[in-house]
Structure 1
Amino acid sequence: MEFRVMGPVEVRRDDRVEVLSGRLQRILLGVLLARANQPVPVDVLTDALWGDRPDSRAAQKLQLHVHRLRGVLDSPERLTFGAAGYRLRAGQDEVDAVRFEALVKAASDQEPQRAIESLRAALALWRGNPFADVETPVLADWARRLTERRLAAVEALYEAELACGLHEAVLGELTELVREHPLRERLHGLLMTGLHRAGRRSDALEVYRRARQVLVAELGLEPGPELRELQRRILAEPEPTPESAPEPVPHRQEIPAQLPVDVRGFVGREAELAELEEVLSAGAPVVITTVAGTAGVGKTALAVHWAHRVRDRFPDGQLYVDLRGYGPDEPVAPADALAGFLRALGLDGAAIPDDLDERAARFRTLLDQRRILLLLDNARTVDQVRPLLPAGSSCRTLVTSRDSLAGLVARYGAHRIDLDRLPAADAAELLRELLGARADGEPEAVGALAERCARLPLALRIAAEIVRSRPGQAIRELAGELADHQDALDLLAADDDPHTAIRAVFSWSYQRLDPAVARLFRLLGVHHGHDVDTYALAAMAGTGLRETRRALDVLVRAHLVDQPSAGRYQPHDLLRAYAAELAGTTDDAPDRAAALTRLSDYYLVTASAAMDLVAPFETERRPKVASLDAESPVFDSYDTAFGWLDRERVNLLATPQHGEPDHVVKVSNTLWRYLHMGGYYDDAFALHTRALHAAQTLGDAAAEANARRVLAAATLRAGLIEETVDHLERALTLFVQVGDRSLEAATLNNLGVVTGRQGNQAEAAEYTRRALDLYEELGNHRLMASATLNYGRLLHILGRRDEAFALLEQSLAISRDSGDRTVEANTLCGMADICAEQGKPQQALGYAHLALNVAWQASHRPMECAAMRTIGVAHRHAGEHELAIRYLDSAAHTARSVGDTEQFIATLNELAAAHAAAGNLTEALRVYRETLSDKNGDRLLHERAQAHEGIGDAHAASGEHDLAAEHWQRALVLYRQLGLPQVDTVTVKLGGARG
């Protein structure tokens, strides 16, 4: 449920807007929201609705409007009446104005880059003037306050963006805002700052002159002290250049908060909660607790409820995973669970190790000395849990399972809590909590119903909803009706427990559904993913969104499906199994197959539309997909498209596991770039391997070639160089065979990258030149950006700077035209590197800061690292050693966090050189030796050669000429092996040392 007041007053349920009957109902809702969760007296409400017009029937009219408002709420109990008046219950995340305030407040405590994200999220909630369709004095103050807060948030956003060096990007918007709000001094100051940092000092001073003129004319006041001080500083400082930039902004590690929503109406379990508390508070070496019990007994509810009670004791965060040990789908593999945890702890996808043991070790390292609560839900075996356990005693782990997990107790000293069905009194109390006053008149019937439901919370909640939906029938009659169902159905046994009789409860609820709703429920059992949104279910059912939403509302109210987040649905695993069983006995196999085909088509078409925004330069390469006979979300930006792909990744990858070979190939071709950018290398390897086998099954040489091409990107990440080369060489042969010259060129370009990493620069240049020639022959200039960049980089390494720079300028123009932001940022870094080496540090800074802006906008962490490294190098060439060390240290930290070994080693070399230039020879030698000691850097011959040369330089500066000569000799061998021009420079150094 969402209440929206920042614009026209609206009530939204899932993805639809509920109809409010008129202006008075909108005023009523607005006044109740202004005092949400507090009683509002009747006279306040009647005054807001009818003002000074006396009306003896005002109270009755108010009751009518309240009744109508309850009709659009998800539960009538949200709006209650008491002695003090009417109270509307609304969570903090359900009112857009409250969420807006919370996001703005959070931004005030965040570093600039994170503040930008929070503030943009806050401002995205704004749809126009608050209460745009309501005019009443009661709400005027709140509307004015929100409008002022929005403007203050806009100012804070631009201040954060200026702090991140985005002055060029915001000048136009700031200029327009100053024109709209000429009396806000802070806006004038932000515009002056942006202009000054962009090298436009005279324009900045002109802004001050105009601001003073307006303030004096309109208010009779001089500018305030902050604006005057800013003018003084601008006058006192030398003319800045466009390359000037703020200090690097360190990335603040996010605190994971992954717990599911707390259970509503939690009843009982006091003994178990006390036992959990005792284990936590004792400070004993017991750091693992297991909650074991039969299906539907409430293990997850207990664990989640307790976790919310103690979350404040874990300031470093809470991690949660549903291991799906007993659902119809495959259990979550420990490697996949670890990948999710590592991402939540701030590790980028590219930095996540491939090996399970390495992932577990990295996880334990990140948890060391941190106070984190882990909730491992629905585990199947000890082997599934063991890799997810922390090593130290600072964390606490809570595991739920239908199994006793005796191995955890025996080996790790886990404390086990065996959870039985609710005691009779607690089961009846839960029903009374759910049924309200209606239960008071039939206490015996409530007890009988609780027993019929086997005192299982899941069954009790479903039964309670059915009782509530039939207000004219006595509870005892419904309990008897359920007894009849139980006699007619088998027991659904779990863990051989004869008391787990909940299939009857499911059936009792299911048989009351309309046919269309019942069919949608069965489709939830056919769907292969975990959770699902409205669009996918509508596509699967072949119905419209409105009809699907209505059916889902019924299923949610009946507790036959959960809604873990807005717009997403997920049945309990027992209910999913029941739905699958019904689908198998009710629906024909062709009907089920048709539903899955519609679902697969929906995911493929929508993913293709998302990728058109994420990677527009590859639209022509993606497989053509048929038009979709179903509604799908509309993506209006890169972020919304990428966000949808992230949300649906599991579902997108589930359909190829059950789809036809042709579908597997299309999904692989569509998603490969997204999986690579997101660092989902496990998923990429699995998907593209299936695509390769599917292509071979089809006998489709073109599909096999492309599967090998994209699979090579995953094997390269794993360090499997020989396997990568094999895939690319076979792909090249097949592309030539089928006559796909565009992808032949792309494969040649990729071979250039791989052979360059092997140290064979001449062969790499030959591959890349052939790719460029082929693109030129085809006249396909839009796809030339990457190959042009790679060729320019290779020429730069070979010492041909002028030729390299010209190629990079071409690459920059092509990438900007095609929208390839990765190549654009990479090219700008290459241009900056060349300028720095040519003694043009200010130009180098200009290009590098542009690259940093592009990387920030694209959320491309490896490119952020490359840009910061280049900025550091430029500062070193300019003699600004402190700034150089600061940027390079930040770049090294980022490179390590994203797992970019090549970038990390190269950055360490530059950091060591900066320390040496600053006279810190001891620190320089330490960093150089770290470069050489990194086991992952053994294959990076160029970087190792640079490290040996740098060590030699440092020893020579200390007068240790024999040691210097030893390392220069090692560098010379490597440079000769690579055929690089540094051979001449090092030879001269060696001659001087021996002379």
Structure 2
Amino acid sequence: MEFRVLGAVRLRAGDRETEVTGRLQRTLLGVLLRHANQPVPVDVLAGALWGDRPDSRTAQKLQLHVHRLRGLLDDPDRLSFGADGYLLRAAREEVDAERFDALVGAGLAADEPQRAIEALRAALALWRGGPFGDVDLPALADWAGRLAERRLTGIEALYQAQLAAGLHEAVTGELAELAAAHPLRERVHGLLMTALYRAGRQSEALDAYRRARDVLVTELGLEPGPELRALQQQVLAGDVAEPVAHRETPAQLPADVHGFVGRRDELAELDALLSAEAPVSVLAGTAGVGKTAVAVHWAHRVRDRFPDGQLYVDLHGYGPDEPVSATDALAGFLRALGFDGAGIPEDPAERAARFRSLTDRRRLLVVLDNARSADDVRPLLPAGPSCVTVITSRDTLAGLVVREGAHRLVLDRLPLIDSVTLVRELLGARADAEPAAVGALVERCARLPLALRIAAELARSRPGRAIADLAAELAEEDALDLLDVDGDPHTAVRAAFSWSYRRLEPAAARVFRLLGVHQGHDVDAYAVAALAGTGLRPTQRALDALVRAHLVEQTPAGRYRSHDLLLAYAAELAWTDGDTTAALTRLFDYYLATAAAATAALAPHEAARDTHSDTERPAFATHHAALRWLDAERANLLAAAAHREPAAVVRMSATVWHYLVTGGYHDEAIALHTRALAAAQSLGDPRAEADARRMLGSTLIRLGLVEKSVEHLERARDGYRALGERVMEARVLNNLGIVHWHRGEVAAARDTFRAALDVVEADDAGNPRAGVLNNLARMQVILGRCDEALALFAEAADLATASGDWSALASARAGVAEATAAAGRYERALGAARQALAAARDAGHRGLEGTALRVLGVASHGLGDNEQALGHFESALRIARAVGEPDEVMGALNGLAATRAATGDHAEALRLYRETLTTGNGHPDLCAHAHAGIAASHTARGDHDAAREHRARALAVYRELGMPQGDA
């Protein structure tokens, strides 16, 4: 049985619902439910029903009302009498007020916005008016008051979850009404301000704050609280956190330190800070003292306490590499948390704000390794105390301690006993046999873990000699200067490096020196062979020797890297001989030629033709291997170009642009192509300038900056025409057609794509015909000419297959699926969409993966499988939002709305259609579909006036674009 008190008091058993009539009966049931499963004394019940008026027949009358109430229950024995009074048995889930309370609790505890929305909507749906209807009783007033307050809490939490899900536009009107109804609730005002700000209505958000302040000052004589005032400042600064599309669980910690010894006090101090919920800790100390080892080892010990993941970045604050900027580090963190491509803001402040929003209330561990200054790490600090950040630095970062309240833990050199233990761990029985020599060795190494490990490796490499001999040699070594990083004379790390270096074979020593001039963070054996100008096999032998000497570390992926101090030392050695300039030239030529070969395996018509390298290169048997190589070497390719002459920058830009733009590495692409444009202008090279402008324009389109792309594209087109470069002109025309497409100028887009096809002959080298055909076919789909589109897609697929252009092939297959679904052939569309999904994943094209999932949703919906359709549309929406493609976001929202409408949930359908209208700019065809869907939902709900208005809007666009009008 169900007991309903959130409105008129009712009982429900199965399909039968009974309203409890009469004030006394409702009062009796209300009081019994208020104390459900507890005995209620007779005098309490009598007082609730008749007040304090004495009546000799009170007990008899109470028995009569109890008898009548039992007759309404599904089981009369639910209501029993005992020595302490009357007791009504009711399970928690049988009382709507208790169910309501439990659902609100679930909504407040939910870790995903959609789960919170579902629970809170279910809770609020239980309300049918004020608690207990017209029963006005002091005995129930406190319960009714608490329920009403809990309801307001649930409503606020629902709007909070809807904002977290990005539904700001849909809730602004409702929040305005709620704020007017509850003018003294500051949280409601804050939610309204947030919704208005995220809807792009900053001035209205500030007006809402002023209205809230006026009411609070007038009614209560109080200024708004700190949270509302802080929100006003965030609105003024344009820094209100935005919702997250979906969550990832990163696990970025490096491998735990092998043979970690000591640091018990430091680890205990970090543990204590964790228990005290200190959000920021700084591990400071001199070079080589083991700051990173302590941070990483401790992080592995406590990683289970951070269920939302662990983030790690080496900021390269000290060393030969370029420091990692906070902006670049944030891009990596945002990718790890589920965003990529255009979903990552360009502006550094926006990027930091997005990171704070993503980390709010999550249990994340963040390790910021090798920081140079407080300013380098401030943008990387998460929001709130739920995340813990550990920073390592040679600097004390006093500003971070003072301003952010960070706890600083200074690492000294290892204590003598721990240093000896470390050497014994590394050398085993030999150390036990020479305890005095081990003590001397420890002192010669200044008790620095890095130096101790190198010295131990030296000892292992000389098994026939005593440890005492090595200690004596180290004592006599005075030719090298101390590595005086912070004035501590004990940190003779450079000397320890030299001891290891001087015992290398000449070939290995030369490779070690040359690693110091490599600009990347890690390297593979092929690149080292190019640096050295030697074959792969002798290079591998040299690298193996360096690994054994602990001068180079081999990663699990088979790549090589060194500690930044070792690289700094190697760089000093390298610049003392005359081999570096030639080595860097060989390395650049290797990177350029290999990148061209990898691009040729992915998109043959994009491959650079003028690259050459005399060194060995990896072979790319599959396009997957090519993509893996480009992913691994992306940072090295960009670093190699950054330190070369203008002509080299131009060549690298032209070689890797296709990989960068299709991979969603838009920040890197913009930076590289901007440098290439400046380099081309400095060289006076019109062809290179046109190339750079074409690549910049194409990247800007992917970022949604369509208007900014037009000037670059038009100047590139004019440049190619002047040079007689027909194929390149066709590529630019293809991009200009995409500009028209984004603007919703379908006819102009179609004409521009046709013009691109007319410019080139079918057998022209590097012909972009497959890509142009794909785009032209999509215009035909929009115009309802599905059979013509299918023919164009088929032609594009044949061309892409013949040339090995995997991206164009995936695009063609996605187009076939879309055209087939648009023609209503849903069974065939399902199969085509599955092929498209596999092709997109093979090509590593995330955007096309989302397109294929959306078409799977369309086909499933068309076949009546709405549950499956919803799953596909939601997956497509997550991907579209992550990569920042507004047209795909709109398409997925329209699909979700249509499916919700088919299930009878027209309210949710209307919300989704309206969200479509507020997403992105342009794309009037998709907006027209949304208006048509809104019209259909209004018609289903009987609101014919609203339906006519939206139907008229849809028809106007359909007629203007020449589209089919069936949806309206």
TM-score (norm 2): 0.71
Instruction: State the one-letter code of the partner of 1:353.
Output: P
Matched, 1:625 2:611: yes
Matches within 5 A, 1:419-434: 419-434=411-426
Matches within 5 A, 1:588-737: 588=578, 591-619=579-607, 622-626=608-612, 628-737=613-722
CA distance in 2, matches of 1:266, 1:878: 60
Matched, 1:963 2:946: yes
The structure-2 alpha-carbon separation of the partners of 1:545 and 1:839, relative to structure 1 and needing over 3 Å to count, comes to closer
CA distance in 1, matches of 2:807, 2:647: 30
CA distance in 1, matches of 2:433, 2:867: 79
Instruction: State the one-letter code of the partner of 2:303.
Output: R
The structure-2 alpha-carbon separation of the partners of 1:341 and 1:874, relative to structure 1 and needing over 3 Å to count, comes to same
**Deviations 1:769-823 (CA, angstroms, capped at 9, x unpaired):** 1111123476569631111121222233234444333323322332333333333
For the residue of structure 2 that corresponds to 1:624, the secondary structure is coil
For the residue of structure 2 that corresponds to 1:528, the secondary structure is coil
> Conserved in 2, the CA contact under 8 Å of 1:260 and 1:564?
no
For the residue of structure 2 that corresponds to 1:416, the secondary structure is strand
Which structure 2 segments of 5+ residues have no match? Answer: 1-244
What is aligned with 2:106?
A: none
What is aligned with 2:896?
A: 911
CA distance in 2, matches of 1:502, 1:780: 57
Q: Give the one of 572, 576, 594 matched to 2:567.
A: 576
Matches within 5 A, 1:315-330: 315-330=307-322
Which structure 1 segments of 5+ residues have no match? Answer: 1-250, 990-995
Q: Give the one of 493, 512, 515 matched to 2:484.
A: 493
CA distance in 2, matches of 1:767, 1:382: 52
> Conserved in 2, the CA contact under 8 Å of 1:785 and 1:814?
yes
The structure-2 alpha-carbon separation of the partners of 1:253 and 1:285, relative to structure 1 and needing over 3 Å to count, comes to closer
Matched, 1:532 2:523: yes
> Conserved in 2, the CA contact under 8 Å of 1:782 and 1:818?
no
Which region of structure 1 is more displaced relative to structure 2, 445-454 or 652-661? 445-454
CA distance in 1, matches of 2:630, 2:581: 24
CA distance in 1, matches of 2:864, 2:500: 76
**1:271 Cα deviation after fit:** 0.7
For the residue of structure 2 that corresponds to 1:397, the secondary structure is strand
Instruction: State the one-letter code of the partner of 1:324.
Output: H
> Conserved in 2, the CA contact under 8 Å of 1:354 and 1:718?
no
CA distance in 1, matches of 2:864, 2:465: 86
Which region of structure 1 is more displaced relative to structure 2, 437-446 or 488-497? 437-446
CA distance in 2, matches of 1:510, 1:824: 52
What is aligned with 1:201?
A: none
CA distance in 2, matches of 1:556, 1:310: 30
CA distance in 2, matches of 1:441, 1:717: 67
TM-score (norm 1): 0.69
**1:971 Cα deviation after fit:** 3.7
CA distance in 2, matches of 1:442, 1:609: 56
> Conserved in 2, the CA contact under 8 Å of 1:617 and 1:819?
no
What is aligned with 1:269?
A: 263
For the residue of structure 1 that corresponds to 2:650, the secondary structure is helix
CA distance in 1, matches of 2:819, 2:451: 69
Q: Give the one of 939, 961, 964 matched to 1:979.
A: 961
CA distance in 1, matches of 2:824, 2:619: 49
**1:445 Cα deviation after fit:** 2.9
Q: Give the one of 877, 893, 896 matched to 2:878.
A: 893
> Conserved in 1, the CA contact under 8 Å of 2:602 and 2:804?
no
Instruction: State the one-letter code of the partner of 2:941.
Output: S
Instruction: State the one-letter code of the partner of 1:370.
Output: R
What is aligned with 1:141?
A: none
> Conserved in 2, the CA contact under 8 Å of 1:812 and 1:824?
yes
Matches within 5 A, 1:165-176: none
Q: Give the one of 890, 912, 932 matched to 1:949.
A: 932
CA distance in 1, matches of 2:334, 2:651: 30
Instruction: State the one-letter code of the partner of 1:870.
Output: V
Instruction: State the one-letter code of the partner of 2:914.
Output: R
What is aligned with 2:282?
A: 290
The structure-2 alpha-carbon separation of the partners of 1:885 and 1:516, relative to structure 1 and needing over 3 Å to count, comes to closer
> Conserved in 2, the CA contact under 8 Å of 1:613 and 1:638?
yes
**Deviations 1:426-456 (CA, angstroms, capped at 9, x unpaired):** 2222223222222234333322222222211
CA distance in 1, matches of 2:591, 2:773: 34
Aligned residues: 724
The structure-2 alpha-carbon separation of the partners of 1:465 and 1:830, relative to structure 1 and needing over 3 Å to count, comes to closer
**1:855 Cα deviation after fit:** 2.1
What is aligned with 2:430?
A: 438
Instruction: State the one-letter code of the partner of 2:495.
Output: A
**1:985 Cα deviation after fit:** 6.6
For the residue of structure 1 that corresponds to 2:503, the secondary structure is coil
**1:369 Cα deviation after fit:** 4.0
Matched, 1:793 2:778: yes
The structure-2 alpha-carbon separation of the partners of 1:527 and 1:833, relative to structure 1 and needing over 3 Å to count, comes to closer
What is aligned with 2:923?
A: 940
> Conserved in 1, the CA contact under 8 Å of 2:341 and 2:666?
yes
For the residue of structure 2 that corresponds to 1:688, the secondary structure is helix
> Conserved in 1, the CA contact under 8 Å of 2:313 and 2:329?
yes
CA distance in 1, matches of 2:283, 2:376: 16
Q: Give the one of 358, 366, 384 matched to 1:392.
A: 384
**Deviations 1:33-68 (CA, angstroms, capped at 9, x unpaired):** xxxxxxxxxxxxxxxxxxxxxxxxxxxxxxxxxxxx
CA distance in 1, matches of 2:589, 2:309: 39
Q: Give the one of 466, 471, 477 matched to 1:479.
A: 471
Which region of structure 1 is more displaced relative to structure 2, 251-260 or 826-835? 251-260
For the residue of structure 1 that corresponds to 2:428, the secondary structure is helix
> Conserved in 1, the CA contact under 8 Å of 2:762 and 2:769?
no
CA distance in 2, matches of 1:856, 1:535: 28
What is aligned with 2:54?
A: none
CA distance in 2, matches of 1:377, 1:425: 27
The structure-2 alpha-carbon separation of the partners of 1:520 and 1:453, relative to structure 1 and needing over 3 Å to count, comes to same
Matched residues, percent identical?
58
Matched, 1:362 2:354: yes
RMSD: 2.4
Instruction: State the one-letter code of the partner of 1:886.
Output: G
Structure number with greater Rg is 2
Q: Give the one of 812, 818, 840 matched to 2:803.
A: 818
> Conserved in 2, the CA contact under 8 Å of 1:797 and 1:980?
no
CA distance in 1, matches of 2:872, 2:566: 54
Q: Give the one of 392, 400, 408 matched to 1:408.
A: 400
What is aligned with 2:155?
A: none
For the residue of structure 2 that corresponds to 1:565, the secondary structure is coil
**1:286 Cα deviation after fit:** 0.8
CA distance in 2, matches of 1:781, 1:424: 67
**Deviations 1:182-212 (CA, angstroms, capped at 9, x unpaired):** xxxxxxxxxxxxxxxxxxxxxxxxxxxxxxx
> Conserved in 2, the CA contact under 8 Å of 1:775 and 1:781?
no
CA distance in 2, matches of 1:685, 1:919: 46
> Conserved in 1, the CA contact under 8 Å of 2:786 and 2:822?
no
CA distance in 1, matches of 2:958, 2:442: 80
The structure-2 alpha-carbon separation of the partners of 1:554 and 1:808, relative to structure 1 and needing over 3 Å to count, comes to closer
> Conserved in 2, the CA contact under 8 Å of 1:610 and 1:635?
yes
The structure-2 alpha-carbon separation of the partners of 1:393 and 1:544, relative to structure 1 and needing over 3 Å to count, comes to same
Instruction: State the one-letter code of the partner of 1:514.
Output: E
For the residue of structure 1 that corresponds to 2:704, the secondary structure is coil
The structure-2 alpha-carbon separation of the partners of 1:811 and 1:962, relative to structure 1 and needing over 3 Å to count, comes to same
> Conserved in 2, the CA contact under 8 Å of 1:623 and 1:670?
no
For the residue of structure 1 that corresponds to 2:307, the secondary structure is coil
